Amino acid sequence: EIVLTQSPGTLSLSPGERATLSCRASQSVSISFLAWYQQKPGQAPRLLIYGASSRATGIPDRFSGSGSGPDFTLSISRLEPEDFAVYYCQQFGSSLTFGGGTKVEIK
Amino acid sequence: EVQLVESGGGVVRPGGSLRLSCAASGFTFDDYGVSWVRQVPGKGLEWVSGINWNGGSTGYADSVRGRFTISRDNAKNSLYLQMSSLRAEDTALYHCARMGNPNYYNYYMDVWGKGTTVTVS
């Protein structure tokens, strides 16, 4: 099973700052099979990025994904109040697994 | 509106069984694979099982393989999860999710339902 390790566990930032979230896979993962999700309290997850760097429909361009197996990054260029949430990476190159999540909280 | 609505959750004793359903609307159901993903409150996401567009390909997490069975009825635009030999650790909110490719049981998920709660106690 491919294990995805996300860091940091919690990121404390102010609105307007840049957020950089990391996702490291225990084995190489093709960029085609890496996605990112956002989840707010009481809501279902929302797809942000697929194929490591392609934004899903309706996702603002302040969200960007990069990297290649095993290291991937989700960046949020300027945090808006609605961006404070938990973010998960997911791989589906071998079965399907999620990372443990990074919480982006208001500093 | 594209929508997935889960039902069938509840309280069940350890060792018991439960069947979850997911009703799809607003899109052509058999153009997509679908999955079940669960989440313990306050914890992360865990993929449970997935199925391709015609049911010909299915996959399961190690934690549920042999106890859970995924199926779909395209005529009814519905996805199911038959859960048996339930354990306390199966307690979670269960989401169904549409996947972005019809041919695989494992893919990224672009539409999610709000979930149905299963409590094993």
Give B42-92 pLDDT, tens digit per residue: 999 999 999 999 999 999 999 999 999 999 999 999 999 999 999 999 999
Instruction: State how far residue B70 is from chain A, nearest Cα, in angstroms.
Output: 15
Mean pLDDT calculated for residue range B15-28: 98
C-beta separation of B73 from B83 below 8 A: no
Proportion of chain A above pLDDT 90, given as a percent: 97
A30-52 burial by CB neighbour count: b if 16+ within 10 A, else e?
A: ebebbbbbbbeeeebbbbbbbeb
Tracing tokens 């959750």 back to the chain, one arrives at B9
pLDDT at A50 over 90: yes
- What Cα–Cα distance (Å) separates residue A10 from each residue in A3, A18, A37, A100? 19, 14, 16, 11
Chain A residues inside the 8 Å CB shell of B6: none
> Which two tokens mark A88?
């998960």
Chain A residues inside the 8 Å CB shell of B62: 1
Q: For residue A85, name the pLDDT band (cuts at 50, 70, 90).
A: very high
What pLDDT does B28 receive? Answer: 97
pLDDT at A66 over 90: yes
- Which B residues 60-79 touch A at CB under 8 Å? 61-62
User: Distance between CA atoms of A37 and A45, rounded to whole angstroms?
Assistant: 6
User: Distance between CA atoms of B49 and B33, rounded to whole angstroms?
Assistant: 11
**Cβ–Cβ contact A70 with B under 8 A:** no
**Cβ–Cβ contact B110 with A under 8 A:** yes
**Cβ–Cβ contact A101 with B under 8 A:** yes
Proportion of chain A above pLDDT 70, given as a percent: 100
> Which two tokens mark A101?
């999540």
Q: For residue A69, name the pLDDT band (cuts at 50, 70, 90).
A: confident
